[in-house]
């Protein structure tokens, strides 16, 4: 292996202090942080229109010859995935299966006009459907779902209409969707796209893994063909498993066989066939759709419902739903559910959008995504839809098979329209155990995220605790409380870490202007008479004492005790002049050993200081005064401009202050060494004279 070539760099320039650097290079602070935004504010109506409705801009530059065929193929492929996933996740939301297909049509049309992600496949997503299903279970009368009748698009569906003060599952779902839309549009108006940063990678991993286990637990009854009560409130998973254990003797053997065969076929396809086919063909086998079609045919012609009491999907109306206003009286009852779903669905969609945008080199606007989702949910709430979001599996397929833009979503919508108008009732005999099997297999990768705990534990014990607390709370308590626990613990972790900043002493790399940690680099040389203290983090009312204690610990000098030692030394020295005593001589010798003879200047490296408040500046003033009383000056080096402005406003550094500031650590060191040399020369001259 060849040795790296090291270039000798020689820098010749004047030594600068911070104020002089500002004067020489014409420092000019912008009066307001918003002035730049004001200069670039888009007053042109056309630009505002293009920003608000992005499809006008990108569609005008669409390369029809190059992109239309790939988009059509991607749209067709994703439409095939929408059918089984939509029906399965519709049941997951405790609403009729056809609602899942509605979600892949109505809100997706709005997202096509307003969204900025080119590859997000919008529609159903397991976690969001599960969260909606919880609200549906709490606020609706589940008996509506047992009412079935052959209806068309213009007739009234018993599963959708309410009776008296009771709400149907679809009514509750649309109320939740409407509430989610209100929160997302409010966040858009307030430009709160940044709120997604509250959901860290650790939190999202623990949350989605826990939700996956909740979903799997909710499907056990259909996998086994059991009829157990629907549980709501807290500890749903625990109560569900208890009910399953109590009713295990009533397991439907035919349902178990159907579930086992379906899961086996889907798993073999995903684990063995799909990787092999991917090497030879660009399009995946639509195994979920095949399973649903075969399951429907077998159930219909073998009369599984009549002979083996297999629970089937039941009524699926053909045609499009009649638009209706969501029950606004329910909005106040589902505010908490609406807020959590709004944040979760937006964060998932934005995360996926940013992944594809970074990979394929285009931009996704976080705030515009809020508008797109909010408007899509508003529109969908009038057409019996649950809140929609992006799906990782469908989005990945849409990109892998060659999709270029949201034209693929439009193609998918029109193919699903064909299904809604004519094909929907075909799936009425489909066993619910088949849909439950599709859900369980689809969530395998999400459930396997449980192995992330080991990864987070190796990287950070704090992150591992956040993951574990979020996961356990979601699984054993509830999804909303789990999300709250995760957010609170993430913020607490940030606070705790801010209270434990990294501190160290720096030494010089010989013959360079580099200064590095003397505890970690054996080649670093500590400069005699100098201590260079580096602090990484913020100095505020909560961390000011931490800064002071770390400084005194590493420098190994307590100015107050040092001053006390010097006063005692002066006192004992005076007593020796008057009357020599052995005890006084011993006291003087002991004090002389305690008094610092080495440190002559202290340099504070603020290059990694992120923030300082007036409380922190006051603490620095006290520390500076205490060191100056024992003749140790303090220099501040590499201070960022916002930090410098704060300490200047607070009076720590100005023309009256004795503290000197330098743009780099090297400037501060050179100044200190120059003063050391001058003082040494003066002392030498005095001693000779």
Domains and CATH numbers, the chain: 68-145+166-448 (no CATH), 502-557+596-688 (3.30.750.24)
User: Is the confidence at residue 365, as pLDDT, over 70?
Assistant: yes
414 SS3 class: helix
What is the pLDDT at residue 16? 78
Q: What is the pLDDT of residues 177-223, one digit of tens each?
A: 999 999 999 999 988 877 766 678 888 889 889 988 988 988 899 99
Q: Which of 382, 389, 343, 355 is nearest to 484 (CA)?
A: 343
User: Is the confidence at residue 234, as pLDDT, over 60?
Assistant: yes
Cβ–Cβ under 8 Å, residues 299 and 312: yes
Q: Could you tell me the pLDDT band of residue 110, with boundaries at 50, 70 and 90? A: very high
Lowest mean per-residue pLDDT among 255-264, 369-378, 534-543 = 534-543
Average model confidence (pLDDT) across the chain? 83
406 SS3 class: coil
Direct distance between the N- and C-terminal alpha carbons of the chain, in angstroms, rounded to an integer: 61
Q: Mean pLDDT across the stretch 1-22?
A: 64
What is the pLDDT at residue 497? 78
What is the pLDDT at residue 4? 44
Report how far residue 174's alpha carbon sits from residue 179's, in angstroms, rounded to the nearest whole number. Answer: 8
Q: Could you tell me the pLDDT band of residue 412, with boundaries at 50, 70 and 90? A: very high
597 SS3 class: coil
175 SS3 class: helix
Q: Mean pLDDT across the stretch 555-573?
A: 76
What is the pLDDT at residue 156? 44
Lowest mean per-residue pLDDT among 52-66, 274-288, 425-439, 547-561 = 274-288
User: Is the confidence at residue 76, as pLDDT, over 70?
Assistant: yes
- Between residues 249 and 688, which one has the greater pLDDT? 249
Q: Could you tell me the pLDDT band of residue 323, with boundaries at 50, 70 and 90? A: very high
User: Is the confidence at residue 569, as pLDDT, over 80?
Assistant: no
What is the pLDDT at residue 175? 96
What is the pLDDT at residue 105? 94
Q: What is the pLDDT of residues 588-629, one digit of tens each?
A: 666 566 565 678 899 999 999 989 999 999 999 999 989 988
- Half-sphere exposure for 21 (CA within 13 Å, toward CB): 18
> What percent of the chain has a predicted confidence (pLDDT) above 90?
34
User: Is the confidence at residue 387, as pLDDT, over 90?
Assistant: yes
Q: What is the pLDDT of residues 430-462, one digit of tens each?
A: 999 999 998 898 888 888 889 989 988 988 888
Q: What is the pLDDT of residues 36-55, one digit of tens each?
A: 444 444 456 777 777 788 88
């Amino acid at each position: 292996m060849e040795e790296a070539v090291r270039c000798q760099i020689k820098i010749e320039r004047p030594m600068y202090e911070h104020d002089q650097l500002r004067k020489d290079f014409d420092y000019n602070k912008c009066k307001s942080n918003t002035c730049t935004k004001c200069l670039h504010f888009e007053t042109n109506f056309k630009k505002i229109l293009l920003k608000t409705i992005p499809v006008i801009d990108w569609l005008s530059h669409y390369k029809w010859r190059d992109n239309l065929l790939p988009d059509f193929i991607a749209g067709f492929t994703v439409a095939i995935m929408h059918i089984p996933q939509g029906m399965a996740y519709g049941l997951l939301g405790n609403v009729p299966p056809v609602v899942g297909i509605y979600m892949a049509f109505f809100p997706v049309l709005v997202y096509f006009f307003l969204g900025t992600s080119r590859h997000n496949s919008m529609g159903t997503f397991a976690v969001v459907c599960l969260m909606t299903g919880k609200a549906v279970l709490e606020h609706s009368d589940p008996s509506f779902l047992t009412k079935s009748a052959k209806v068309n698009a213009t007739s009234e569906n018993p599963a959708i209409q309410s009776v008296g003060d009771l709400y149907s599952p679809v009514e509750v779902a649309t109320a939740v969707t409407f509430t989610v839309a209100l929160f997302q549009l409010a966040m858009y108006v307030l430009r709160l796209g940044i709120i997604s940063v509250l959901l860290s990678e650790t939190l999202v991993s623990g949350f989605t893994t826990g939700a996956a286990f909740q979903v799997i637990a909710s499907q056990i009854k259909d996998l086994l063909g059991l009829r157990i009560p629907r549980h709501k409130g807290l500890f749903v998973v625990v109560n569900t498993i208890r009910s399953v254990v109590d009713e295990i003797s009533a397991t439907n053997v035919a349902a178990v066989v159907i579930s086992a065969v379906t899961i086996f076929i889907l798993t073999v396809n995903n684990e063995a066939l799909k990787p092999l086919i991917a090497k030879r063909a660009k399009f995946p086998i639509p195994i979920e759709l095949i399973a649903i079609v075969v399951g429907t045919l077998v159930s219909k012609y073998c009369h599984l419902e009549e002979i083996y009491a297999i629970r089937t999907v039941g009524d699926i109306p053909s045609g499009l739903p009649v638009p209706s206003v969501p029950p606004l009286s329910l909005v106040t009852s589902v505010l908490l559910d609406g807020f959590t779903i709004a944040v979760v669905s937006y964060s998932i969609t934005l995360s996926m959008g940013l992944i594809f945008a970074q990979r394929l080199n285009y931009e996704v606007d976080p705030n515009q995504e809020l508008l797109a989702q909010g408007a899509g949910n508003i529109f969908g709430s009038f057409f019996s839809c649950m809140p929609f979001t992006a799906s990782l599996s469908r989005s990945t397929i849409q990109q892998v098979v060659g999709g270029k833009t949201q034209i693929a979503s439009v193609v998918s919508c029109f193919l699903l329209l064909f299904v809604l108008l004519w094909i929907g009732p075909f799936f009425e005999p489909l066993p619910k155990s088949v849909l439950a099997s599709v859900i369980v297999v689809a969530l395998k990768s999400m459930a396997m995220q449980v192995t992330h705990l080991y990864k987070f534990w190796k990287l950070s014990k704090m992150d591992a605790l956040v993951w574990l607390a979020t996961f356990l709370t979601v699984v054993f308590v509830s999804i909303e409380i789990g999300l709250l626990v995760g957010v609170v613990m993430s913020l607490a972790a940030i606070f705790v870490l801010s209270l434990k900043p990294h501190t160290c002493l720096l030494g010089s790399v010989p013959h360079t202007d580099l200064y590095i940690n003397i505890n970690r680099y054996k080649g670093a040389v500590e400069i005699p008479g100098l201590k260079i203290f580096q602090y990484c983090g913020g100095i505020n009312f909560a961390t000011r004492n931490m800064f002071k204690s770390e400084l005194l610990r590493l420098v190994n000098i307590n100015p107050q005790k040092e001053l006390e030692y010097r006063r005692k030394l002066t006192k004992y020295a005076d007593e020796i002049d008057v009357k020599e005593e052995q005890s006084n001589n011993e006291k003087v010798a002991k004090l002389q050993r305690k008094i610092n003879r080495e440190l002559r200047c202290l340099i504070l490296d603020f290059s990694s200081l992120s923030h300082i408040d007036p409380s922190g500046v006051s603490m620095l003033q006290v520390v500076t005064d205490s060191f100056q009383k024992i003749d140790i000056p303090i220099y501040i080096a590499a201070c960022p401009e916002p930090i410098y402005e704060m300490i200047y406003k607070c009076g720590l550094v100005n023309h009256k202050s004795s503290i000197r500031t330098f743009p780099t650590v090297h400037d501060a060191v050179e100044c200190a060494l120059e003063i050391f040399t001058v003082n040494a020369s003066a002392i030498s001259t005095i001693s000779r004279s």
